[in-house]
Amino acid sequence: MKPYTDHTSVAALMDRSNVDTDQIIPKQFLKKVERSGFGAHLFHDWRFNADGSENAEFELNKDAFKDARILVAGDNFGCGSSREHAPWAIEDYGFNTIISTSYADIFFNNCFKNGILPIVVSRRDLDQLMQEIRTNEGVRFSIDLPEQTITTAADFVVKFDIDEFRKQNLLLGLDEIGMTLQNADKIASFEARQQQTHPWLWK
Q: How far apart are CA 183 and CA 181, in angstroms?
A: 5
Looking at beta carbons only, is 66 or 123 nearer to another protein?
Answer: 123
Contact yes or no for 14/47 (Cβ under 8 A)? no
Q: How far apart are CA 116 and CA 27, in angstroms?
A: 22
Looking at beta carbons only, is 56 or 177 nearer to another protein?
Answer: 177
191 is a contact residue toward another protein (CB under 8 A): yes
181 is a contact residue toward another protein (CB under 8 A): yes
Tell me the pairing of strands 97-100 and 70-73.
Answer: parallel
How far apart are CB 37 and another protein at their closest, in Å?
A: 12
* Residue ranges in 148-167 that form contacts with another protein under rule CB under 8 A: 163-166
Applying CB under 8 A, the residues found at the interface with another protein are 17-18, 20, 22-23, 26-28, 30-35, 45, 74-76, 79-85, 87, 102, 104-106, 109-110, 113-114, 163-166, 168, 176-177, 179-181, 183-184, 186-187, 190-191, 194, 198-201, 203
